[in-house]
Structure 1
């Protein structure tokens, strides 16, 4: 009901704003878009656009559907065109209302289209004044149309569900939080390349329509990232590599790291890393760029299956944690320097800020130069507390 009231309030504000312009427009004359999906169309070089339209009456909890309706909180329409604008205009063939974009939460791009290029997408969605620059932009290997038309369970409006995943992403640190403004800035940059969050549909949960069948309800999962060279996608980063990526490009509240117990690799311990401070210091060695990466953080032991007590294994566990975090950084550096040969870690930007004269020398062949650059990683991660349940009766307390 709370979401429904928010949507109703937004609709009322929208009606007041529109009526203050060229003339009154009734809210029931607008098809309010909350998510957009972009796929490759059937014709060569064409686009297929899918729009998730909110049904305001059903979204606010009304049990009966409006006349001729389905009772679902959303419905989806799709159309094709040789350009994005033509595809959007072709939506008018299916929508009985004017398509309104100002409340869109997310733009979902299929990976095949992303590999073809997103330059037209960036151009259109930054040029149209009705579209918001804080709209999230993501890539999926699923059909983008399917992602935006799937009712995910917890949230009434699926586009809002993806919006909330991004809000809480700072807690888990599983994907880059890239909106259209941020994408546009990096896209126009001469020193960096874009990365976009990855979303996938997973069969999880239990549907009310199939209460005895686990996994019958699809959920949108936010994890990993898509790497671009300018406007074309070149590959994926997995969850571990993405955690390393975020240390370079974002501020993350915390991340969860699972490590083997020091004296028994078959046992596992889980730590929460927080208060991360990452410094990338550029330098020159024999006329070539080099980088020193310093990571300082604290961690809490939140779960353990280790048979050895915490006090006895603290130093060893700390070493395992630093080894795991270092492996995340090394993995994403290897993707940037050698596999994809694309500077999506903003190392060129850092180098340019300190050595603008030398940057002009390297700029035209930066990826080649970066591949041969020396990178040293120094870690200072301390386990400062433990939060362990002892027989379900409490905690062992903090240990500094």
Structure 2
């Protein structure tokens, strides 16, 4: 009898493994979300959720629509609810397919939603087992449903287009690459605050049908950031501020700067810096934290509009780049310390790691200690090459 029992048990365990349909979900039964928008609902205390859903039959980049299709690569729906999950459940009233989150690229929050607080958003999307932690997160002054439904000129699916902007965000270096993982880390930290990238709609595209009308097509722009304090947005950061944030948070190592020529107030030259290294050294004196921020980098002159072609130009170019980078770092530090009193630069982490005992005394009042801390910025640049100037006769 025992042998028969073991055989029955073996059959029960093995037979399901021989089938390939366990947990199977047909693609034509799913509403695959590519981007999500969050805003305040019309009724007080409600959430407005917008979802950009991919239409597999039409997401082919073709002008003509297949039989039974609309030709549009996406389908956007909007619902409201008392919470995010309630709004998602309400989608079942208008969506013929089950909402599926595993392919979501992006979460866009409105400025009003972010200023009210993002505790619920972080809690829900980190608990959702279908959502990937590398999903990008952004804040916009535009309506989130418009941002996620705007089809750009190059990509068929808008969510994928913004995903590509984020993946290459370090090239222009004008916005941080915020995803759910980094947001949750800063959100739960006692020593740092959150900073989230900004996206906006800009009339930058040119239609092939209307080449003379610049800006006839809306484009999603990744530029700037939103600063947070205690899970609530407190203000915007400019593109230059965002570059400063990248030096601190993502160890930005290359980029370009346009500086004024030393012998002219109108002529400009462009330098490409690389191998940039930022080091923050904390100290503790008489009960107050101090920080020394040192940035070293090398650079090349890649575009010279100056009349000088001597070695002196290399020295002047280095000084000009020093001034620009110092201005960028001091600008974002000033906003963090004095305008927002929010340590989104993670200086608290640096201080805590070196002075764990002193940190226990300051962590309860770190915002005040951080805003009063003395921070010194030192930038050292070496211009390696590129003093030659293009002329009609060629490169001399």
* TM-score scaled by length of structure 2: 0.91
The offset of 1:41, in angstroms, is 0.9
Whether 1:76 aligns to 2:76 is yes
Please tell me whether Structure 1 or Structure 2 has the larger radius of gyration of its CA atoms: 2
Task: Classify 1:94/1:69 alpha carbon distance in 2 versus 1 (closer, same or farther; 3 Å).
Answer: farther
Whole-Å separation in 2 of the counterparts to 1:244 and 1:393: 40
The offset of 1:23, in angstroms, is 4.2
Whole-Å separation in 2 of the counterparts to 1:64 and 1:311: 60
Instruction: Tell me the equivalent position of 2:289.
Output: 289
Task: Decide whether the 8 Å contact of 1:270 with 1:303 is kept in 2.
Answer: yes
Instruction: Tell me the equivalent position of 1:87.
Output: 87
Whole-Å separation in 2 of the counterparts to 1:392 and 1:191: 57
Whole-Å separation in 1 of the counterparts to 2:250 and 2:394: 35
Task: Classify 1:205/1:359 alpha carbon distance in 2 versus 1 (closer, same or farther; 3 Å).
Answer: same
* TM-score scaled by length of structure 1: 0.90
1:268-279 correspondence to structure 2 within 5 Å: 268-279=268-279
Whole-Å separation in 1 of the counterparts to 2:354 and 2:279: 14
Task: Classify 1:128/1:261 alpha carbon distance in 2 versus 1 (closer, same or farther; 3 Å).
Answer: same
The offset of 1:304, in angstroms, is 2.4
Could you say what the CA RMSD is over the residues aligned between the two structures, in angstroms? Answer: 1.8
Whether 1:121 aligns to 2:139 is no
1:1-400 correspondence to structure 2 within 5 Å: 20=20, 22-208=22-208, 210-309=210-309, 311-386=311-386, 390-391=390-391
Task: Decide whether the 8 Å contact of 2:313 with 2:387 is kept in 1.
Answer: no
State the secondary structure of the residue aligned to 1:58.
Answer: coil
The offset of 1:388, in angstroms, is 6.6
Greater CA drift, 244-253 or 318-327: 244-253
Task: Classify 1:210/1:91 alpha carbon distance in 2 versus 1 (closer, same or farther; 3 Å).
Answer: farther
The offset of 1:252, in angstroms, is 2.1
**Residue segments in structure 1 that go unaligned for 5+ positions in a row:** 1-18
Once the two structures are superposed, what CA deviation does each residue of 1:78-109 show, in whole Å capped at 9, x if it has no partner? 11111000111111222121111100011011
Task: Classify 1:134/1:41 alpha carbon distance in 2 versus 1 (closer, same or farther; 3 Å).
Answer: same
Task: Decide whether the 8 Å contact of 2:111 with 2:139 is kept in 1.
Answer: yes
**Residue segments in structure 2 that go unaligned for 5+ positions in a row:** 1-18
